[in-house]
Structure 1
Amino acid sequence: MSLYPPDKNTFSAIVERLLGNLGPGMDPNAGGMARTLAEAYAREMATFYAMMELSHRAGYLDTAEGASLDNVVAVLGLKRARAGRLMGEVELSRATPAPDDIGIPAGRQVTGLGADGKPLPLFETMEDATLVKGDTRVIIPVQEVQDEDSPEREAPPAIDPARLTLMPRPILGIEAVTNPAPLRRGSDNETDENLRARARTALRDGEKGTLESIAAAVHQQGVQQVTVREPADAPPGVVDVLVGDTDFESDVEGVSRVEAAIRETKAAGIRVRLRYARTIFFQVDFRVEPTRDDMDEVTFDRLRRDLQQALAQNMRELPVGSPVIRRKLEAVLFGNPAVRRVSDLSVETYVWGLVGTPPTTKALVLESHSRVYGANRDWKMEPLEAGRIDLEMLPPRITRLRTPMWRLDLVVSLTGGEARTPEQVREALRGALDVFAARLSEEAQMGREARLTWDSLQQALKSQARIEALLGCDVTRETGITVSLVAPSTPGLAIPDQVTELLVKADVRLEFGGAELVGVG
């Protein structure tokens, strides 16, 4: 390389430098012998410096172009994707808004399963992207990884939507991936910029023999759930690979692919113990109260499907042997903004077994023992067991939880010289009843008896709504039966529809029905 900076190696700069070194006696004018010789030499030197610069730039990833870039990335085992490859877009998403920016480097691989159950070709993201803070999804262009050495993964002419659902190397903060539109074959070669971006990711992820690389290799075979770990009960050099996909052990072709991928990825001298998790199928049963009381059945059915899918997705992400935490399942449900309240979760667990006489038919059989343990009533899994929810065989049973509503119709007397309008008085009564109902609900939730009595209601209305006295109160319960709440000293208490108190449970809501206002002198 030249000792001079690049702007000093141009033709004109070299000519001026040569003429300046010849001394004051030389003729520097155009056409003179000295200038003609200097220009001839400068032309060759400028060409030489330009070729040296190109040769230098061709050896680096950030500056090489065209065929030179192809030679640089070949060291990493990469090739420029040619025209005719499958191209399209994938959507990376999460259930809740991102707490901060999540960087997604180019070259991240995604794959999935075709309609025939076989793994699709690998695809790579073509450019760097960011899931911006506060967003839940980002769209990124992808292209097929063309591998002539894997004829069994020959790509179809096109790939239907929602088929790319696996990320061999998951990205922290990203929960799901899919292709929202079909992937079709493109007509242009990969650009230098996209090839450089893929190469940078390959430099970071190119190591083999690590636990992460083994897990990524297994994911590439269409496995959705895999755990790779060094067991504490084995000597150094032993690695356990636990496949948690349902019934994967019965897929002979899939098992063969996984075993081959592990052999190619693991380091020499490492012994891999490939194990398959026993799937424990959860049948979840609970009731949901939506935030909107007027939600119609069509909308509630959509809510039911959303909650079923959210529960199944949460269970799929649990590592093999991990217990199923009740609070986490409830958090998934409350994560939906349309959910106000859920009832206690009831769970039955099933496993594959043989039924019939004699037992020859394979079917799901209810387990005879309970897996509930601990103060929080979680569900225990053994080291080689994985809890799952199957939306086709055992979808969660979700019904609507309707809050018992009690309607209170009041008769009250007002103080003399009342300045408020009837509408203002009724609004004050409504607010006072809401405060009173909240206090009763709090007592019931704390395990104490919450009782609706004449004296307690009258005191609340006097202090909150500034009335003179409570003259009458009819309570219409959720059954449609109406009773009159009266003071204990009221004569004729033998009448069946008169009561002195009502026990209010935690889920009962008191509603203001109306009020008859009686003015006092």
Structure 2
Amino acid sequence: MTGYGVTEAGFIRKPYAVILTEVQTSMQQLLGQDVDVSPSSPLGQIAQIFAFEVAKIWVEMERVYDAAYIDTAAGIHLQKLGRLNGMTINPATYATGEVVFSRATPAPQEYVIPAGTVVASADRTILYTTTAAGSLAAGATVSDPVSIRAVEPGIRANLAMHTVVAITTPILGVDYVTNPQAVTGGADRESDAVYRARMKTYEPASRGTVHALRSKLLDIDGVLDLNIVEDTDANTVSVSILGGADAAISAEIEETRPAGIAVTWSRPTVVPVDVTAQLRTSVSDTEAVVQNVTSALAMMLQSWSIGVAVDYSALVSAVLGVRGVASLVSLSATADETTISGFDEQLTVADDAAVSLGTITVTVV
């Protein structure tokens, strides 16, 4: 039958009902028009089983067809299409930061904090290990900063200051731990949607255009985000880049930049955003709601693009999207001494600035 399979309109999958009708018709043509192919008859049941198996083959054929095109391919198939142009998907990255260990009274002796010591968030669901040894000196109550790295990659491990507060690996003479600054740098694996959009603007063979520069820089391992500002009057281009190795970035810019155009790059200025929210819940487990709202706000802010203003409505949507939130009583956000608390307000972010996670305070009223 025509109209199914590869057509001018794309791949049209043959429905199960059509396949079943065709099988029943073939049975009657071969065995006689008076053959009983009703659903409850033996032949009817055989026809249904056969038609179902054929329908599954049509589904697989459609998946094979879709895997050949950027708009419909997914997962490994989309990645393979990207590799044809020299593109790779950005992998998940590990959050890193620093913690300090402490005790209530001055240490009677030096206490060593071994590399590989495990610390965690308050609920012990997000784990980190120390990447180097540290120590708490005799007579001191606080250690020098010790570097940590998340045990698992992903944006979930980006936590605000003073939220890594649990010691999972006991340390003699040490009672407490905390992170004086936010733990940052964790990112989820690039989604198919983002990878697909990047593929559509990728210009592997071109040089000297903003699109080409963006494509090449985003394809560097570890680059999480960037913002390009082109000044056509001064004939200059400035790039703010989050993640990636310095040498690789500099080399790619030199390779891709237009002749005679100065291209400079820098790391984005970090702008912590503090959020305070009061809400009402529709469930009894208010503690879980508070934690989920805090996580939703944190994930949104950590994934915010460089140079993009923080819109109040986006913050509200993140809160109201959490299951168990009945209503939002109030919400405010502060960055660089500017506070917003209404739907027509934004926190302006400079072209070379990146939003980071500040303090999130969520209360139930």
Q: TM-score, normalised by structure 1?
A: 0.32
Query: Normalized against structure 2, the TM-score is what?
Result: 0.44
Q: Which has more radius of gyration?
A: 1
Q: Which has the higher contact order (CA 8 A, sep 6+)?
A: 2
